[in-house]
Chain A
Amino acid sequence: DAGITQSPRHKVTETGTPVTLRCHQTENHRYMYWYRQDPGHGLRLIHYSYGVKDTDKGEVSDGYSVSRSKTEDFLLTLESATSSQTSVYFCAISEGNSGRDEQYFGPGTRLTVT
């Protein structure tokens, strides 16, 4: 199994509060991704990183920011949480990004915004 952990695994927070989710990998992979999973939508890419301090937006990036100061850590921040951000968040990693590289996923974080 790929060494990917996410913390916290579960979180309940109130609307308007900032929230940070952490993804940690021990594989030394260059690429890291944040997805959200919602019923009827599958997985949608929020942001991704192609190296330390190198990040880019995915298809549903509004309301989210990311940072990557070390190869092993990729943080996702909800600047002011809203109920629409209630979701399961998955981190993924891949060795390359040529299209053929499979992504390996962390266990997920279930976030509830009340």
Chain B
Amino acid sequence: AQKVTQAQTEISVVEKEDVTLDCVYETRDTTYYLFWYKQPPSGELVFLIRRNSFDEQNEISGRYSWNFQKSTSSFNFTITASQVVDSAVYFCALSEAWTGANSKLTFGKGITLSVRP
């Protein structure tokens, strides 16, 4: 069975600090997909990124970067020069590739990030 662990539950930083959110996953599949979602205080869930298991290149998008390492089953998310608007709950999620049955998305429990001015 697939599992996602976000061991950090709450992180508090001061604006402009860098912060890394950890995500460790478990799966028996060789083909799978990893996702990050953001849930700001307004409550909606916003898709941030998808990564497939064959692509270990790091991804950078502005102040956001993602480090995928199959050797440690981790898909960590770093925010550089954090801002107050980054305050949110961040979810990591895992989906196994379609095997003839409907694929399901498994979420971690989320990390609450607070960025103080």
The interface stretch among A11-19, A42-50, A65-73, A78-86 is A42-50
- Given pairs A42-B109, A102-B35, A105-B45, 16 additional interface contacts (CB within 8 A): A33-B105, A42-B108, A42-B110, A48-B104, A56-B102, A92-B45, A97-B103, A98-B103, A99-B33, A99-B95, A99-B97, A99-B98, A102-B47, A102-B50, A105-B44, A105-B46
Q: Which of B37-77 contact A (CB under 8 A)?
A: 37, 43-47, 50, 52
Chain B residues within 8 Å of chain A by Cβ, number: 25
Q: Chain B interface (Cβ within 8 Å of chain A)?
A: 31-33, 35, 37, 43-47, 50, 52, 91, 95-98, 102-105, 107-110
Q: How large is the interface on A (under 10, 10 to 19, 20 to 34, 35 or more residues)?
A: 20 to 34
User: Is A52 interfacial (CB 8 A cutoff)?
Assistant: no
